[in-house]
Structure 1
Amino acid sequence: MTTQPWTATVLSIFPEMFPGPLGHSLAGKAMERDLWRLAAVNLRDHASDRHRTVDDTPFGGGSGMVMRPDVIGRAVDAAREGGAQGPLLYLSPRGRPLTQSRARQLADGPGLLALCGRFEGVDERVLEARGFEEVSIGDFVLSGGELAAMVLIDATVRLLPGVIGDAYSLEEESFSGGLLEYPQYTRPQVWEDRQVPEVLLSGHHERIRAWRQAMALEVTRRRRPDLLGEMTGHNPRTVGAAQPSADPERG
């Protein structure tokens, strides 16, 4: 029995937007190698009238239109019958924030189904009836869920086995250990009178590791102290009190 590659199924009224950026760089190359697959479903194909209507006016009044539950319900059911697997995700600014740990959970599964909302949103009944998980990529509003779905899929696909050649690099990234990533440097060694920190030129792996850990803590303390508050054994008021050299905030 052949195992199907990790598959992202996207429900949208603009399926032509996909793969878009997902067809390039790491995600695109991985798709060419069949490490993952993308299925874009046109929600209008599941409308019941000749105009292929997917929305209607909201009960209770108000501006804008709301996406119909019957159309979305049929689209979800058809996708499931077609073999689509994984959790149902609705990209919404009121959803739980997307995190690196959630992306890893999704990468460990068989795939996902992402609903891209438009207009004023989606009828609440279909979200409840089909068990959608609402996911947000930030505290802002987009014109639709397609770009958010691409962000979600890209964040997940890059964690799939074989997509990134150096698996160790994933362990060094921001959020992988609860911290933001330490600053990176490359050639030239001196640029506009700014030098690469000496410790990185020392060749002493343990000193470099310790410096990077200290810098990751310091950058996180300054920019995202909320992350430190979530880590066991770290106090955002005291972590990073010992200032490491070459502070990136001071240049």
Structure 2
Amino acid sequence: MRIDIITVLPELLKSPFEASILKRAIDKGLVSVHFHNLRDHTDHSYNQVDDYQFGGGAGMVLMVEPVDRCISGLVAQRDYDEIIYMTPDGDTLNQKMANRLSLSGNIIILCGHYKGVDQRIRDAYITKEISVGDYVLSGGELGAAILCDAVIRLIPGVLNNETSALTDSFQDNLLAPPVYTRPAEYKGMKVPEILLSGNFPKIEAWREEKALERTKKLRPDLLNDS
């Protein structure tokens, strides 16, 4: 998978890709991530990429020209499965969306900033608009990092245990069951005996039961979506 991220703040985005699972995926050659500074695509003085909005009102808007130059340059080199715009008014990121995007070959992520991007970019290029929640961030960079983490970890070979991602919360619209590790008893608190039994069919049945119980208690809305 190739991910091209367009941003006015590439330095804000780079650190998550220099550690942990994301770095492992890059080192293995399973994904390549490329950062494109929008200021490199403008001819305006002081590398300007934003301007006041027509009609008045507070807040600056990312200009159409530098974004168009960057995206058109990328799509001239290769085909993209999705051109994504990170924006508070997009579809809320969820596990099903991450699953689908993990099957992509090439994607572009445009990070919104200021008051947003000129609507003509959204009309001409954007195939999917994604939000990471019903709140506003200073820009789309942190949202893009969240999206990349959610997607990249699902690519085969990224996680050491291939089944790990399949048992995460929100797969099959269920929260994950409780998990335990050694020691089996700590300050009088014991691990459920079933997990120590070695009876794996019964353990799986227990996990399914607990996952359903936890979902009913904490996120019953997920069961309504199934």
Separation (CA, whole Å) in 1 of partners of 2:126 and 2:109: 12
User: Does structure 1 retain, via aligned residues, the 8 Å contact 2:85–2:126?
Assistant: no
1:145 alignment counterpart: 140
* Closer/same/farther in 2, CA of residues 93 and 43 from structure 1, 3 Å limit: same
Percent sequence identity over matched residues?
Answer: 38
Q: CA deviation at 1:50?
A: 2.7
Q: Does 1:77 align with 2:76?
A: no
SS of the residue 1:31 aligns to: helix
Q: Deviations over 1:99-132 (max 9, x none)?
A: 1111121111102100111111111121011134
Q: TM-score, normalised by structure 1?
A: 0.86
In the TM superposition, 1:1-251 aligns within 5 A as 6-83=1-78, 85-231=80-226
Q: CA deviation at 1:170?
A: 1.8
Equivalent residues, number = 226
Q: Deviations over 1:137-196 (max 9, x none)?
A: 111111111111011011111111211121112221111222111110001111232111
1:242 alignment counterpart: none
Structure 1 range deviating more: 178-187 or 196-205: 196-205
Aligned AA (1:139): D
SS of the residue 2:108 aligns to: strand
User: Does structure 1 retain, via aligned residues, the 8 Å contact 2:21–2:159?
Assistant: yes
Aligned-residue CA RMSD in angstroms?
1.3
Q: Deviations over 1:28-70 (max 9, x none)?
A: 0121121110110011111122322111111121111011122
Unaligned runs of 5+ in 2: none
Unaligned runs of 5+ in 1: 1-5, 232-251
Structure of higher RCO (CA pairs closer than 8 Å, 6+ residues apart): 2
Q: CA deviation at 1:75?
A: 1.1
Runs of 4+ in 1 over 3 A off after TM superposition: none
Q: TM-score, normalised by structure 2?
A: 0.95
Q: Deviations over 1:205-238 (max 9, x none)?
A: 121111100110011111111110011xxxxxxx
SS of the residue 2:156 aligns to: coil
Q: CA deviation at 1:82?
A: 3.2
Separation (CA, whole Å) in 1 of partners of 2:161 and 2:135: 33
Separation (CA, whole Å) in 2 of partners of 1:191 and 1:8: 45
Q: CA deviation at 1:84?
A: 6.1
